[in-house]
Structure 1
Amino acid sequence: MVITKNGLVLGATAVTLTTIAFTGLGIHSRGQALFKESPKELVDEVWQIINRQYVDGTFNQVDWQATRKQYLNKSYSSKQEAYKSIREMLKKLDDPYTRFMDPEEFKNMQVDTSGELTGIGIQIGLDEKTKKLTVIAPIEDTPAFKAGVLAKDIITNINGKSTEGMDTNQAVSLIRGEAGTKVKLTILRNGQRKDFEIARAKIEIHPVKFSQQKTPIGNIGYIRLNQFSANAGKEMQAAIKALEQKQVPGYILDLRGNPGGLLFSSVEIARMWLNSGTIVSTKDRQGEQEREVASGRALTNKPLVILVNKGSASASEILSGALQDNKRAVLVGSQTFGKGLVQSVRPLDDGSGVAVTIAKYFTPNGRDINKHGIDPDIKVELTQKQEQDLWLRERDKLGTLKDPQFAKAVEVLGNKIAGRSITNTAAGK
């Protein structure tokens, strides 16, 4: 397996409300023409992809050969019947990240990678432990964000329909719709139910925001990265270069609420901060390991503090884990989400697609963060009220000294800058 620019996915949920890209990995035996004849052959195509690529050679203790026989012995009169069987077949793996997308869902997924979509602006997925439909994070400045939806909210109903037993594709289909129309979500948060009626809108996502912030330790560079989309690297590069021209003495990189996205984007951005060392390694079911390393072309070596929280997932965890393990950055905030699996996405001949978990990833020190997440070096926990005030009611305080996690990051950065200055001075004598 090779990690390529166009290849692999690290969305917090890897569902169609997050960023996903295609992979060249797939079936290498028979020609695709064989799969254009009938719905049954589409079922077999998906089975073959899982058989060749799935990360666990035991298929999570499922008899995959018997599963093939079960579903190929059925008769299919339509593609819709085949789609239903494919979803049933994949559900046996008990892996919320391996999933089938019908043509409409697959098309929506492709739109997401472009950085523009129509909807309410949330990333969702099935919690691996509870199997409940859960909000990973609302996208900043979107209808869901402004309405007050938060990371870790459990979606119990969509337009009055229970989400019990509902997969993420079904949920996405219900939540998405034309701009200007509304969707009603019932949320369970800390045991309390809340209803949100949210108007859908056309959403343009600019993943990077940056500024020069005046603080007690001087003017510092503040960069907020919302999502690892296809253009995140280009925007991050522009942000760093602009702040370097202003000669800031250090940086705070804010990954809070960032649900992940494209693997190549996280590696690309890590190389902007890290001059040498491993960034991430992946291991497939054969135990074959691939590594991504720094390229010696970091844009800055100035002190760096990274802000993380429970909404920082997947590609965010790769970036923060790489910089933490290489002692390039200090992490401040709360424990991250904990998603350490890699998916590839395969387009199918009828316009549908399938996402397959093909590998686990590890931080440079070999940490498997799946389900646990990354622990910050310095914990600064916020109460629910503090989070709601900061992210919703008093948005202008985010990334200022009235933001407790940011304030702590400034303090830590000040110590790093002072330490670096002393070291440089001593070396110069």
Structure 2
Amino acid sequence: MGFMHTKVFRLGFSLLVTIWLVLGTLVQPAVALTGEQKLVSEVWRIVNRTYLDETFNHQNWAAVRQKALEKPLQDNRAAYGAIQNMLKSLNDPFTRFLDPEQYRSLQVNTSGELTGVGLQIALNPDTGKLEVVAPIEGSPADKAGIRSRDRILKIEGTSTENLTLDEAATRMRGPIGSLVTLLIERDGEGETEIRVTRDRIALNPVVSELRVSPEGTPIGYIRLTQFNANASMELAHTISSLEKKGAAAYVLDLRNNPGGLLQSGIEIARLWLDSGTIVYTVNRQGIQGSFEAFGPPLTEDPLVILVNQGTASASEILAGALQDNGRAQLVGETTFGKGLIQSLFELSDGSGLAVTIAKYETPKHRDINKLGIKPDKVVSQEPINREKIGTQADLQYQAAVELLGKDSVVAGKV
């Protein structure tokens, strides 16, 4: 009996040892990921959860993560490189990584406002110097007398010689009411130091003017340069102002407008439409969401929209919505064809990730990605200077005015 007991005990003990060994191979302590690896994993997870194409460009997405993490990543730069390689495998130029500098810059461009001095700046390709393209009208820089073509040599005593555009812009931004000292060089005047008080700068994407057609019709000409957070409100003010001045027809210029915020495009479509669908969105589950117009529009006057190959994204949503609802006629060239919607994600280290999460279709269910929207009246044109936009040299604008001058269009109140 004692023997049996010992035998059972030994069997029991060996069983425990076996179980412990088996479990031991399964429950290995997880190797802690480094900060750089965590960032790569964070990007992988966001794409895994939200990306439009559930085949991830016909590849094993888990294997892509494994490959990205198999080599040690020494620093953030190495992590950024691994992320970019991972995203490249999706073959989607719109799903992209933004380092902290690029992410901040994109936020400023779409937010519709910033706090700073109010300068558009560029690096002169010939001299490499930081140059003023133009001061924003009414901004602190404008009031301080800074002019177009001025060279900015120093910001707060720091030479701008080795600064990137983003670095220079960041140094000029700051809290409202704070001062920044700029050393400016101007042709014929040498160097001068200018102190500027920072303030809130509204980025107005709307340019407008009341014009008269050859037939005597007052036409409201509106150029929209991007769909930022201010665009809808600024456009509403512009339409109301032009209505009071007696506009009887409109030309909305969306040429070379690269898009911006989806919501902004939807809100602007609502300014023109009484009712109807504006756009359908389709995600990877195939679920269709839709955005509707609920009226009343700010004007029912005839409308012609100018489009070209640089008309993209939110511009195409707006143009497609107004064309499909019979509210506007399109003049110009077939649009760019970006029918994909991105969402922007902020990552743990201050960098950002733009991910294609859905595609859109026009009210008549046209999928315009890579196809674009064809105008009602095709008018080709060589690129022209900004000063010539809306003049006799602007063939597309002239064609729009001619279209509005036809009795049928004005009478029909398209």
Q: TM-score, normalised by structure 1?
A: 0.67
Contact 2:249–2:410 under 8 Å retained in 1: no
Q: Distance in 1 between matches of 2:288 and 2:40?
A: 30
Note the 1:50-199 alignment, pairs <5 A: 50-115=47-112, 119-120=121-122, 176=166, 178=168
Shift, 1:419, TM fit: 4.8
CA gap of 1:38–1:252, structure 2 versus 1, over 3 A, is same
CA RMSD, aligned part only? 2.6
AA of the residue aligned to 2:325: N
Contact 1:285–1:359 under 8 Å retained in 2: yes
Q: Distance in 1 between matches of 2:279 and 2:121?
A: 33
2:12 maps to which residue? none
28, 36, 39: which is aligned to 2:36? Answer: 39
Which structure 2 residue ranges, 5 or more long, are not aligned? 1-31, 124-131, 135-162, 170-200
Q: Distance in 2 between matches of 1:334 and 1:176?
A: 34
Contact 2:334–2:375 under 8 Å retained in 1: yes
2:291 maps to which residue? 292
Q: TM-score, normalised by structure 2?
A: 0.70
Query: Percent identity at matched positions?
Result: 52
1:261 counterpart SS class: coil
Q: Is residue 246 of structure 1 aligned with residue 245 of structure 2? A: yes
1:191 maps to which residue? none
AA of the residue aligned to 1:407: Q
User: 1:239-281 deviations in whole A, cap 9, x for unaligned?
Assistant: 1000111222111111111111110110000000011111111
CA gap of 1:341–1:419, structure 2 versus 1, over 3 A, is closer
Q: Distance in 1 between matches of 2:91 and 2:413?
A: 52
Shift, 1:106, TM fit: 1.4
Q: Is residue 265 of structure 1 aligned with residue 256 of structure 2? A: no
Shift, 1:41, TM fit: 1.3
4+ runs of 1 displaced by more than 6 Å?
none
Q: Is residue 400 of structure 1 aligned with residue 391 of structure 2? A: yes
CA gap of 1:74–1:423, structure 2 versus 1, over 3 A, is closer
Shift, 1:47, TM fit: 0.5
Contact 2:282–2:289 under 8 Å retained in 1: yes
2:403 maps to which residue? 412
Contact 1:119–1:177 under 8 Å retained in 2: no
1:391 maps to which residue? 385
1:178 counterpart SS class: helix
2:14 maps to which residue? none
Q: Distance in 2 between matches of 1:87 and 1:366?
A: 33
User: 1:7-42 deviations in whole A, cap 9, x for unaligned?
Assistant: xxxxxxxxxxxxxxxxxxxxxxxxxxxx99621111
Q: Distance in 2 between matches of 1:118 and 1:37?
A: 40
2:68 counterpart SS class: helix
Give the aligned length: 311
Which structure 1 residue ranges, 5 or more long, are not aligned? 1-34, 122-140, 144-172, 180-202, 425-429
Contact 1:36–1:42 under 8 Å retained in 2: no
Q: Distance in 1 between matches of 2:257 and 2:410?
A: 29
Q: Distance in 1 between matches of 2:57 and 2:90?
A: 6
Q: Distance in 1 between matches of 2:310 and 2:336?
A: 6
Q: Is residue 279 of structure 1 aligned with residue 278 of structure 2? A: yes
CA gap of 1:346–1:36, structure 2 versus 1, over 3 A, is farther
2:207 counterpart SS class: strand
| Larger-Rg structure | 2
